[in-house]
Structure formats: C-alpha cells, structure tokens
A and B are shown apart, each in its own frame.
Chain A
Amino acid sequence: MYKLTLIIRYLVKRRITHFAVLTVALCVFIVVVVMTVMSGLVGEFKQKNHAFVGDCVVGTKSLVGFPYYEEFMQTLERTEGVEAVSAVVKNYALMRREGDARNRGVEIIGLDPVKHGQTTNFGQTLYHQAGDVTKAFVPAYEPNAVGCVLGIDLALWRNAQSQYTYDAQPAEIGLILTCFPLNARGAPAGAGSVPVSTKRFQYNDHSHSGIAGIDGSTVYIPLEWAQSLCMAGVLKRVTALHVKFCPAVSLEQGCIRVRTLWDQFRQSKQGASNAGLLDTVTVETWKEYRRAVIAPMEKEEAMLSVMFGFVGITTVFIVFVVFYMIVSHKTKDIGVLKSVGASSQSVMVLFSGFAAAVGVLASCTGVAAALLFLSNINRIENWLFERFGFQLWDRTIYAIGEIPHHAEFSVLAVIVLCAIVACQIGALVPAYCAARLRPVETLHGSRT
C-alpha cells in the first residue's frame, strides 16, 4: 500500500517529477504531430497517385508505343476480376493559345474519357463536366470543335492559400497543339518535309488530380487525336493500358494475372509486323509505375522514422537521468523503507511503478496536447500566414490543400506504449540500484 501512496506523493510533490513528465509529454507531442502530418501527407499522395493511375499499367516508356492493344484490351475485359481497361497515349507537345505566338512544352495524354473514367478517377477530377464524363471533349458552344482538358494549374490561377478562382463556364479559348509524330521504327514521320502535326482544340474543362507534377503540365485530348497527332503508321498504337481490378482482387494477384496474360499474348504475336515493339512493354502495379515520385516521399518518411527513433532513444536517456536523480535523492527513503521491513522487490516495484505513472501521465498529456494542436493546425497555419506571411508548405509549390490532421488510433497507441516502455527502461537501472541498496548504506551519513 505504501507504494501507491508514495508514487502519488512523488508524482505530485516533486518538481523534478513534473519536469520528467513535461519532457516525456513533449517528446510524445512532437512524435504524434510529425508522424500524423507526415504519414497523412504520404498517404494522401499515394492515394492520389493510385486514383490517377488505376491499379495496374501495361505500358512502355517508349514514345513509339505498341500495336495490337485492342486485342489485348478485349482479352483483359473478358478476364474475371478486371473491372475496366483504358488505352492511353502519352507524349509531348508544344501548346500555344490561339492568337499568341508563344509556345510552351506540355505532356499530352490521349484517352477515351468514358473508359478512363471507369479505370481511374479522371471523371472526378473534372470541374465543368464532372457530372458527365462523356462530354469531357465536347465543347458546349462549339460542338463541332474538338475539346481538350487542361491540368488545373495550366488553366487557373492558384492563390497563396492553394485556392483556385473557378469560372462558371469554361473560358472560350482555342489551343493549338503541335506534336512530333514518330513512325513505328521510332523515326520522325514524313522526313524531308516539316515533321510536325498541328491541331486546334477548344478548352473545355480542367482536371484536378491533386498531383502537382501532373496538374501543372498535362493536357488531355481524345485518344484518336493523340494517335493521329503523335503516331504515324498504319497500325494503331498506344503507350499504355490502365487496368482497374474488382474490389475483391488484390493488387498483387491481379498484376500477376495480367502479367501472365501479357506474356501469352506477346508469344502469340511473335512474327507479326512490328511485334518487336511488344518487347518494350512491362506490366506494373500503380506503385511501381509511379515509383519515381512516390519513392522520395517514402524515403523521407523512413528517414523521419529513423530520426524519431533517435528522439525515442534520447527520451529514454532523459528519463534515465531524471530517474537516476530522483532515486539518488530518495536513497534515504529507500533506507527508511527497508529498515521498516520493505523488501527489495517492493522497492523495485515502487520505482518502476512510479516510472509507469510518469509514462502514463506524460503520454496522455502529450497525446491530448497533440490532438488539440492537430485539430487546430490548419487554423494556426492560416493565422500565421495572415499575420506573418509564414507558411509551412509553400502552396504555390506544394499541392497540399489542408495539412493532414487525422491521427490514427493504432499509431497513438503505439506511441503511448513506447513512451511508457521508454520510462520503464529509463527507470530500470536506477530502480534496480535502489532495490539492491542495504538500509545502512543509504542512511549512514544522511542527516535529515
């Protein structure tokens, strides 16, 4: 019983204990806030990439593309577990406004809006045509013209808080795209003459994928137009097939299935004209397909975890020092307790129980403070920006709307547990030393 009484008294009355609680709480606070924000950002970014790509990509890095894709699309569409397939042409072009001589380089994606809308979140990224993806390339007031969709950052201005000024109707702008068609051998088409093809598109909508690199440089046009502008030759080609699996199919299972099908398909096409182009094609999951942009984020997250591992070690050390000090201040108490019959084990329990109490109190305080902070983090950032012009992430560079602030319960539980364990480890050695002391060793020469 004396243990409980003394633990409470040590906790309440000793200033050094308050510092220990504060230190541990601060560490917990920092870890919770940073982990939540960071894993939120990474998670959000991955989710956006997943939504943008679909589940699996059968594609080539080559701009020449690959033929016979329609046949393989049919094979896939017949395959169980495949929900939708969309053929895509990715290429580069120069773009200028009608009446303006200045060109800028853009990436073009040629797609069938309906199929692509079924495979990816393309439909949801649209603004004016969000309700009806079939109209993505059909300008309302100029039905005979061919429409295009611009990445939102090509179409609209973004203010410093990452907010766009939307138009009620798509502005009436004509855009001229100039492409460099390649033939099936990969050579510029029509050598001798000027090897470019040009086409006017009517601006019809903008697409907001939330991925800054995409939204700032991509123009979406109808698939057939991309093919005729960028690819010369009799055989129709595309650069990628995006595949979406049914919810029941796991990413790995689905991709293995597609890979097998693709290998069979390639074998069956051996000897066909331009069959060599099929050899450049790979089957990748969305993660593999977008690894160039995801990997750096994941690396940052991993580095952060390592850094917080060090924070954890520092916490253990701080707790160790604090407890060592508390125990050395309390050797007299240990002597007194032992002289009235307390056992070594119960002294050990007293100090490790005290450490656990510090751990629980501190991590609860830290978590509570962190949750409070996180729930206000966007408000705080806005205030800082309005007042001092300070922004955690420059919204003109980063496509972050709100700072993520949803802490996961499992993560919190792990952090709290780690904090309590850290306190236990930190207190272990001092508690053990305290328990081993013989009563007289501590009482001899102590005069209070």
Chain B
Amino acid sequence: MNETSTNKRPLILKAENVHKSYRMGATRVKVLKGANLSVREGEFVAVIGASGSGKSTFLHILGALDRPNEGDVSFDGHYFSRMGARELNHFRNEMVGFVFQFYHLLDELNVLENVYLPAMVSCGVAGWLGTRGAAKARARELLETMGLQDRIRHKPYQLSGGERQRVAIGRALMNKPRLLLADEPTGNLDSATGNGILEVFEQLNRAGQTIVMVTHDERVAHRAGRVITLADGRVKS
C-alpha cells in the first residue's frame, strides 16, 4: 500500500515503552525493555528478530493476551491498563484476531466450528439461535476463500499444517476484527504453502485489513509494507 496514503490514516495501535520480564528462579529475564510501536489503520507491519528476542511476547502484549510489567498499549486511543476484564474480553473477541504459530485449534470441534468459535463465544444459547445461520455462512465463506470448502466437516487432526493454519486464519477473521496479529504464520510450513498464506495476507491487506505479523524470516518480512526489528528488547525500524 502506498506509504503516503497510510501515513494519513488514523493510528489504531500504539505500544509505549513496553517492558516485560520473566522470573526464572532467582533471576529475572528481561525480554522487553521499552519497546515502542505505532500502527496505522490498513498497515501491514512485519516484526522480525532473532529467536528469543521477544517477538511472541510483544505480539501477545499487543493482542492483550498478556500484560506488560511497565508501559502500556492503546487501541483506538483506549489504554489496555484502563480496561476492565469485560472490555478486554470484548476487545479480544471483536477487535483483534490472533493467528498463533502452532494454530491452536480445538480438537473436539470440526473445521467449520473452529472457525465460527469466536461468534459462539460472544453469545448465549438464545443469541446463538438467532445468529447461527449468519455465522455459519460467514465461516463457510471464509473457508471458501482459504480453499477449504471441502474440509469443513473434518477434524483438525485430519488436516495438514498449512490447512490448519488457514483454518486458524479463518477463525481470526471470523468476527471481522480491525486488527490481525499473526505469530510466525508460515513458520511451520514449507515455502510453497507459506507463500499461499502470505498471499492471503496480502489480499486481506489490500482490502484494508491492518496486520501485524511476526517472523524471523527476512524474505517473508519483505512481503509486508513496513518491517521493524526487535532486538535488545527494543524496536528498531
């Protein structure tokens, strides 16, 4: 996407001075030491860095799946630290879609159910009866664009890694989130399959989807509009 045009777009995600450390017995491992990042609506940002540099940790914090020890993240101007549990759940359900490095599909649900899971989570039994039809149609449509229309009744264990990752992307897009976070979506896939996934991302981005993608592969990263590097616990662009 054209850089000048994106620069005019509103800021959607902003990480400010994010610190994160883990306690390992007596010592504290400092993973993030003041990471900053601003993402504008419609941007496709790739985060690269060495293994263990804290990319996944940073992405989890951006998606409100973890809390920083210091600093804060805001989405649309709303700071996570000031949101209650209910608002955070709403944010995770509606505003953000997360694609994990290891897919994380539910074994007991079939492909279609895995995709419409976020729609199910946000409503009760009665509400579900009302929205089920639309949710199923949306999930089917997503699976069709991923080329998985023939596998909707299959269970995750019956799928290949690439297919599982596409199901996970479908799930992340189910509730039409404004932000898509992907943690090494191609990390476990061969280059052809990984290429397919990246094409999906590019297509989504062209349609206006904001994406932040973590990878350690420079070639993958250059498919994104902007590449930032995470090193020494800080963002270097």
Interface residues of A (CB under 8 A from B): 1-2, 4-6, 9-10, 13-14, 332-333, 335-344, 346, 438-440, 443-444, 446-448
For the A-B complex with A2-B117, A438-B65, A443-B65 known, give 13 more contacts whose Cβ atoms are closer than 8 Å: A1-B127, A6-B108, A9-B108, A9-B109, A13-B108, A333-B106, A336-B106, A338-B65, A338-B92, A339-B98, A341-B89, A439-B60, A440-B60
The interface residues of chain B lying within 8 Å CB-to-CB of A332 are 104
CB of B145, distance to nearest CB on chain A (Å): 20
Q: How would you classify the secondary structure of chain A's contact residues: helix, strand, loop or mixed?
A: helix
CB of B231, distance to nearest CB on chain A (Å): 21
The interface residues of chain A lying within 8 Å CB-to-CB of B108 are 6, 9-10, 13-14
- Is A341 touching B118 in the complex (CB atoms < 8 A)? yes
Q: How far is the CA of A344 from the CA of B84 in the complex (A)?
A: 13
- Is B65 touching A341 in the complex (CB atoms < 8 A)? no
The interface residues of chain A lying within 8 Å CB-to-CB of B85 are 343-344
Q: Which of B60, B93, B127 contacts A340 (CB 8 A)?
A: B93
- Is B102 touching A340 in the complex (CB atoms < 8 A)? no
- Is B86 touching A335 in the complex (CB atoms < 8 A)? no
Q: In the complex where A340-B121, A341-B122, A440-B65 touch, is A448 in contact with B102 (Cβ < 8 A)?
A: yes
Residue of A with least CB distance to B113: A5
- Is B90 touching A341 in the complex (CB atoms < 8 A)? yes
CB-defined A-B contacts under 8 Å, sample of 13: A1-B127, A5-B109, A6-B106, A10-B108, A335-B104, A336-B104, A336-B105, A340-B92, A341-B118, A341-B122, A346-B121, A440-B66, A443-B104
The interface residues of chain A lying within 8 Å CB-to-CB of B122 are 341
Mark contacts of B84-128 with chain A using CB atoms, 8 A cut-off: 1 yes-contact digit, 0 otherwise.
011001111110001010111111110001000110111111011
Residue of A with least CB distance to B155: A13
- Is B93 touching A4 in the complex (CB atoms < 8 A)? no
The interface residues of chain A lying within 8 Å CB-to-CB of B66 are 438-440
CB of A261, distance to nearest CB on chain B (Å): 68
The interface residues of chain B lying within 8 Å CB-to-CB of A14 are 108
B63 at the interface (CB under 8 A from A): yes
Q: How far is the CA of A439 from the CA of B63 in the complex (A)?
A: 11
CB of A112, distance to nearest CB on chain B (Å): 73
Residue of A with least CB distance to B92: A341
The interface residues of chain B lying within 8 Å CB-to-CB of A344 are 85
Q: Which of B67, B106, B121, B127 contacts A341 (CB 8 A)?
A: B121
User: How many pairs, one residue from A and one from B, have CB atoms within 8 Å of each other in the complex?
Assistant: 82
- Is B92 touching A339 in the complex (CB atoms < 8 A)? yes
Residue of A with least CB distance to B110: A9
The interface residues of chain B lying within 8 Å CB-to-CB of A10 are 108
Interface residues of B (CB under 8 A from A): 56, 60, 63, 65-67, 85-86, 89-94, 98, 100, 102-109, 113, 117-118, 120-125, 127-128, 171
- Is A339 touching B63 in the complex (CB atoms < 8 A)? yes
The interface residues of chain A lying within 8 Å CB-to-CB of B91 are 341
CB of A287, distance to nearest CB on chain B (Å): 54
Closest 3 interchain pairs by CB?
Answer: A341-B93, A1-B128, A9-B108
The interface residues of chain A lying within 8 Å CB-to-CB of B106 are 6, 333, 336
- Is A343 touching B89 in the complex (CB atoms < 8 A)? yes
- Is B123 touching A1 in the complex (CB atoms < 8 A)? yes
- Is B102 touching A446 in the complex (CB atoms < 8 A)? yes
The interface residues of chain A lying within 8 Å CB-to-CB of B60 are 439-440
Q: In the complex where A339-B65, A339-B98 touch, is A5 in contact with B90 (Cβ < 8 A)?
A: no
Residue of B with least CB distance to A340: B118
CB of A438, distance to nearest CB on chain B (Å): 6
CB of B29, distance to nearest CB on chain A (Å): 14
Residue of B with least CB distance to A14: B108
Q: In the complex where A333-B106, A336-B106 touch, is A443 in contact with B100 (Cβ < 8 A)?
A: yes
The interface residues of chain A lying within 8 Å CB-to-CB of B89 are 341-343
Q: How far is the CA of A4 from the CA of B202 in the complex (A)?
A: 37
CB of B135, distance to nearest CB on chain A (Å): 10
- Is A340 touching B104 in the complex (CB atoms < 8 A)? no
Residue of B with least CB distance to A441: B66
Q: How far is the CA of A341 from the CA of B93 in the complex (A)?
A: 4
The interface residues of chain B lying within 8 Å CB-to-CB of A339 are 63, 65, 92, 98, 100, 104
Q: How far is the CA of A13 from the CA of B157 in the complex (A)?
A: 14
- Is B86 touching A343 in the complex (CB atoms < 8 A)? yes
Q: How far is the CA of A426 from the CA of B109 in the complex (A)?
A: 26
CB of B40, distance to nearest CB on chain A (Å): 24
Residue of B with least CB distance to A342: B121
- Is A1 touching B100 in the complex (CB atoms < 8 A)? no
The interface residues of chain B lying within 8 Å CB-to-CB of A6 are 106, 108-109
Q: Which of B102, B108, B122 has the most CB of A within 10 A?
A: B108
CB of A26, distance to nearest CB on chain B (Å): 25
Q: How far is the CA of A241 from the CA of B129 in the complex (A)?
A: 75
CB of B65, distance to nearest CB on chain A (Å): 4
The interface residues of chain A lying within 8 Å CB-to-CB of B92 are 338-341
CB of B168, distance to nearest CB on chain A (Å): 10
CB of A308, distance to nearest CB on chain B (Å): 35
Q: How far is the CA of A444 from the CA of B124 in the complex (A)?
A: 29
CB of A411, distance to nearest CB on chain B (Å): 34
Q: How far is the CA of A338 from the CA of B104 in the complex (A)?
A: 12
CB of A329, distance to nearest CB on chain B (Å): 10
Q: How far is the CA of A340 from the CA of B92 in the complex (A)?
A: 5
Residue of B with least CB distance to A13: B108
Q: In the complex where A9-B109, A339-B65, A339-B92 touch, is A1 in contact with B124 (Cβ < 8 A)?
A: yes
Q: How far is the CA of A336 from the CA of B60 in the complex (A)?
A: 13
The interface residues of chain A lying within 8 Å CB-to-CB of B56 are 444
Q: How far is the CA of A5 from the CA of B63 in the complex (A)?
A: 26
Q: How far is the CA of A330 from the CA of B140 in the complex (A)?
A: 27
Q: How far is the CA of A336 from the CA of B164 in the complex (A)?
A: 14
CB of B21, distance to nearest CB on chain A (Å): 14
Q: How far is the CA of A338 from the CA of B94 in the complex (A)?
A: 12
CB of B50, distance to nearest CB on chain A (Å): 18
Q: How far is the CA of A335 from the CA of B60 in the complex (A)?
A: 12
